[in-house]
Structure 1
Amino acid sequence: MTDLAIYDMDRTITRRATYTPFLLHCARARAPWRLAFAPAVVGLMAAFGLKAIDRARLKELNHHLLLGYARSDEEMKPLVEQFAEATIRDNIRPGAIRAIARDRAEGRRLVMATASYAFYVDAIAERLGFDDVIATRSVRGSDGRLLARILGDNCYGPAKLRMIEEWMAEEQIERSAVHARFYSDHHTDMPAFEWADEAVAVNATGQLEKLARTRGWRVEDWSK
């Protein structure tokens, strides 16, 4: 059975986070008047910082403000394709390209596991040559349109590991039969780091770097 290389995306593969930039890209391209909601977005982020709303609700509300509550695939496709092209061109760490090529050469199955939304992550992952995507999914309305609501879990923290395990079960991958290598920049991915056979802290936050040194995990800088 093929071994796994599982990558976080934002600030691991990419230099910068992608979610808010994606929403701003959509607002500028489709409905510039929605940029007037930027102060409300800042206010929601403050509310999140004060724990008045959770991370998932923050994402749903920002989605609603900057993209709208419901969008068809026909509306989304050009926005997603433009953003994916710009991400590949301007926002990928050089070290990530080398790591992906190495894992592919080793015959590993390349999996992206990210809290960002699947509706735009899929296009980025495809361009980078990933085999599978585990990401935050969206509810669809009865007419098939994408809604500003999260389907199931926000793929973050402990939920990310649960979703990795659920994906493996769906793919009939036995944990004991594979070697799993996991890459991330952030300590909130500790459950997945500890689950992996090989943990790699990439462009690590200070807290993660300290934990990685203590646990003997590899620490890499992909910025150069």
Structure 2
Amino acid sequence: MTNRLAIFDFDGTITRRDSFFPFLVFCFGYYQVFRVGITMLPVLIMYKLKLISNSKAKEIVFENFFKGMPQKDFNQLCRRYSLKKISPMVRIKALEKIIRHKTGGDKVIIISASVENWIRPWADSQGIDEVIGTTVEIKDRVLTGKFKMPNCHGKEKVRRLVETYKNLDSYYIFAYGDSRGDKELLAISNESFYRLF
């Protein structure tokens, strides 16, 4: 197994934009997203005023749209969205860097606050070795609307990486990110790239 890890954030690093809102539009259409969004204005205001965290606000939005959806339907939507909509969002330079790491024998990993289900099909199509992201809670094959573990953001990215790879000191780590949610991950890497390729 390679001892070199190339770790990429997804939204804003591999892609040019966040993937969550386009996923909502893909699943429900602009009108429904707008209609539900209006009812969640208090949540957005609380987030802007820093009364609730980014992670909590995101989970509330997710719950309003997906609570009660069968797991099978959700996975089908994620796969269709991933294979149809992700590639046009991808930065060419990011894809070139991924290919360079793969060619060099490095293990390529995506660590993202986005939900794993809509990243993985695209990642698999590109030969990316692993996806670590936010996971959704399932009960009786139905989405509860909650996240199974904390939103994979900030310190949680490092915690999830350690959970998967244990002793990080045994790896040489390249890390790529674009936001404050990546800073803890960048800090533990041997080579960090902030908004750079």
Question: What TM-score do the two structures reach when normalised by structure 1?
Answer: 0.80
Question: Equivalent residues in 2 for 1:75-154 (5 A)?
Answer: 75-141=73-139, 143-154=140-151
Question: Counterpart of 2:145 in 1: which secondary structure?
Answer: strand
SS in 2 for 1:113: strand
What is the CA distance between 1:19 and its match in structure 2?
1.1
Structure 2 unpaired stretches of 5+: none
Contact 2:137 2:143 survives alignment (8 Å):
yes
Moved more, 145-154 or 99-108: 145-154
SS at match of 1:70: coil
Inter-partner Cα distance in structure 2 for 1:93 and 1:43: 34
Could you list the runs of 5+ residues in structure 1 that have no partner in the other structure? 203-218
From the superposition, tell whether residues 126 and 28 of structure 1 become closer, same or farther in structure 2 (CA, over 3 Å): same
Query: Residues 144-186 of structure 1: CA distance to partner in whole angstroms, max 9, x if unpaired?
Result: 22221011221111111111111112xxxx3232211100011
Match of 2:173 in 1: 180
Q: 2:175 aligns to what SS in structure 1?
A: strand
* Number of aligned positions between the proteins: 196
Residues 181-220 of structure 1, C-alpha deviation per residue, up to 9 Å, x if partnerless? 1000113322111100111112xxxxxxxxxxxxxxxx43
Structure 2 residue 159 is the aligned partner of structure 1 residue 166: no
Which of the pair has the greater relative contact order for Cα pairs under 8 Å at 6+ separation?
A: 2
Report the secondary structure of 2:135's partner residue.
strand
Residue 60 of structure 1: how far off its partner (Å): 1.7
**How far does the alpha carbon of each residue in 1:20-43 deviate from its partner, in whole angstroms, 9 at most, with x for none?**
2212221129xx646411213444
Matched letter for residue 159 of structure 2: R
Q: Write the distance in 2 (CA, Å) between the matches of 1:33 and 1:155.
A: 27
For residues 160 and 89 of structure 1, what CA distance do their matches in structure 2 show?
A: 24
- CA distance, structure 2, for counterparts of residue 61 and residue 188 of structure 1: 19
After TM superposition, the score normalised by the length of structure 2 is 0.90
> Measured at CA, do residues 98 and 193 of structure 1 come closer, stay the same or move farther in structure 2, by a change above 3 Å?
same
Name the SS for the 2:94 alignment partner.
helix
Report if the CA contact (8 A) 1:104-1:110 is conserved. yes
Computed over aligned residues only, the root mean square deviation of the Cα atoms, in angstroms, reads: 1.9
Match in the other structure for 1:216: none
Cα distance in 1 between the residues matched to 2:97 and 2:33 = 38
Deviations 1:44-96 (A, max 9, x none): 2222111222222211211122x331222321133112211233331000001
Bigger drift between 121-130 and 191-200 goes to: 121-130
Conservation of the 8 A alpha-carbon contact between 1:137 and 1:151: yes
% identity of equivalent residues: 24
- Mapped to 2, the partners of 1:178 and 1:89 lie a distance apart of 30
